[in-house]
Amino acid sequence: MRIVLWLAAASFFIPAGLITASLFMAGRAPHSATFVGVSVAVSLLFLAAGLLILGIQFRILAIARLRNEQGSAANDDLDRHLFYLAAYLMICGAALCMIMTTVTFAIAVRINEGYAVFG
């Protein structure tokens, strides 16, 4: 589960960096405050989403550690719920990876054409 959530978080961090970098490396990057503001806002949104995924991963691991410290009667119910929660998060994380790979590819194509992502 860790690798899936790390990949999902990275799939948000990479576009955030590319969007910000596109303002500086694109030859025809717009210098209007609107375009810069939109680019920074979207980059921060992607960054926040990646950090949220890492926070969820941290909390799930903390719950799993607490499970080891509890009695065996409580562990049966907790194990079942943790299993399904981990399965749902892995499915969603894999789906996010696929979606964000497409977004990252689109951003890279836009930068390769010589344009900023927004503008």
How is the chain split into domains, by residue range? 2-112
Q: Which residues contact residue 56 at a Cβ distance below 8 angstroms, ignoring those fewer than 6 apart?
A: 5, 89
Using DSSP, state whether 114 is helix, strand or coil.
coil
Q: Note whether 50 and 12 are within 8 A (CB).
A: yes
For residue 51, give Cα distances in angstroms to 27, 28, 71, 92. Answer: 31, 31, 32, 16
pLDDT computed for residue 23 by the predictor: 81
Residue listed under structure tokens 């490396």 = 25
Which of 94, 92, 101, 113 shows the shortest CA–CA distance to 14?
Answer: 101
Q: How many CA atoms, within 13 angstroms, populate the side-chain half-sphere of residue 93?
A: 22
Q: Which of 8-12, 40-44, 62-66 has the lowest mean pLDDT?
A: 62-66
pLDDT grade for 15, boundaries at 50, 70 and 90: very high
Residue 36 has pLDDT above 90, yes or no: no
Q: What is the pLDDT of residues 60-109, one digit of tens each?
A: 888 888 877 766 666 777 788 888 988 999 999 999 999 999 999 999 99
pLDDT computed for residue 11 by the predictor: 94
pLDDT computed for residue 1 by the predictor: 75
pLDDT computed for residue 105 by the predictor: 95
**Residue 80, token pair as written in the block:** 């079942």
DSSP string, 46-60: HHHHHHHHHHHHHHH
Fill in the DSSP letter of residue 40: H
pLDDT grade for 30, boundaries at 50, 70 and 90: low
